[in-house]
Amino acid sequence: MSVAEYEGYAGIDIGGQSIKVGTIRNGELVTRDIETPPDYAVARELMLSAVTELVGGKPKGLGIGTPGPIDWRTGFLQWTPNIPWKNVSYPELGEALGCSVYVDNDANVAGLAEAVLGAGKDYRIVAGFTLGTGIGYFVVMDGLIYHGKLDVEGGHQVLNPEGPLCGCGARGCLEAYASATAIEARTGKEPEDIDDPEFWAEIAGYLAWGITNVTTLVCPEVFVLAGGMIKRGETLFAPLREKLAQMLKIVPPPPVKPAELGHRAGVYGAIVLAKRGHRVE
């Protein structure tokens, strides 16, 4: 993986537990981890000094992946469920550093990294799910994050309008069947503690169904699965491919690949975003 073109760009991947700040220096990713401060004013100072020190001055540009709901047009975060920050204006960080800044939600930013540097790097239209407490969804076209009127939310496609209640208030969303939260609610166990192949074949069926719908509605060239559950490997991927071939007939299924960048996808994606920016609207 060559990241030479991103030399001197900075990325920040913001999470509930930790903030990862990174840049590309001499063709390599260098990062610094910060424990997420509950006070944004403290976080701001730590992030600014980490960027300046890592880059050795002013970055060529800054990209930020943040938990949402975030408006990527304004970069303004009113609130977010897992960090007690309020009314954060991320573009102000760019002003303080004297560089351009682009902001997007963390699932999109990690997806951008997989699309450009990871599992999707040989493809022009890349879609994917991130399997976690929820199900994140991203679409990257020609190396840029796709947004609709509002952010796309493919984890909330409906598999059954009379299905289990989802956190969003609707019934039968993909997320209400196949997220870690849904699995824990149904089985009383965390996904990593479940070994039964039949159980994973059932989850694979829901994911295949979701990928079928992404394929008919968006037709990506490749589909990427990310998140902790992909560690199951072929226990998950083999039945998934089989069920996808059964459910989807109108076009050939896209290849379904595991994400390659792991927990570094967020900071890589923020650096890519720093250079490439958003689609022009």
Using CB under 8 A, count the residues that bind a copy of itself. 46
Sign of CA dihedral 83, 84, 85, 87: positive
User: CB-wise, 88 or 127, nearer to a copy of itself?
Assistant: 127
**Smallest gap from residue 106 Cβ to a copy of itself (A):** 17
Cα distance between residue 109 and residue 115, in whole Å: 10
Binding-site member from 150, 188, 198, 233 for a copy of itself (CB under 8 A)? 150
**Smallest gap from residue 112 Cβ to a copy of itself (A):** 17
Judging by beta carbons within 10 Å of its beta carbon (0-12, 13-18, 19+), is residue 86 exposed, middle or buried? exposed
125-131 and 135-141 strand pairing: antiparallel
Q: How far is CA 28 from the centre of its chain?
A: 22
Interacting positions 156-215 with a copy of itself (CB under 8 A):
156-158, 160-161, 166, 168-171, 173, 205, 209, 212-215
| Contact yes or no for 143/191 (Cβ under 8 A) | no
User: CB-wise, 30 or 79, nearer to a copy of itself?
Assistant: 79
Cα distance between residue 114 and residue 145, in whole Å: 11
Binding-site member from 120, 154, 266, 269 for a copy of itself (CB under 8 A)? 154
Cα distance between residue 146 and residue 164, in whole Å: 29
Does the protein bind a copy of itself through residue 30 (CB under 8 A)? no
Binding-site member from 247, 260, 277, 278 for a copy of itself (CB under 8 A)? 247
Owner of token pair 């069947």:
177
Residues that bind a copy of itself in the complex, under the rule CB under 8 A: 124-125, 137, 142, 147-158, 160-161, 166, 168-171, 173, 205, 209, 212-221, 243, 246-252, 254, 281
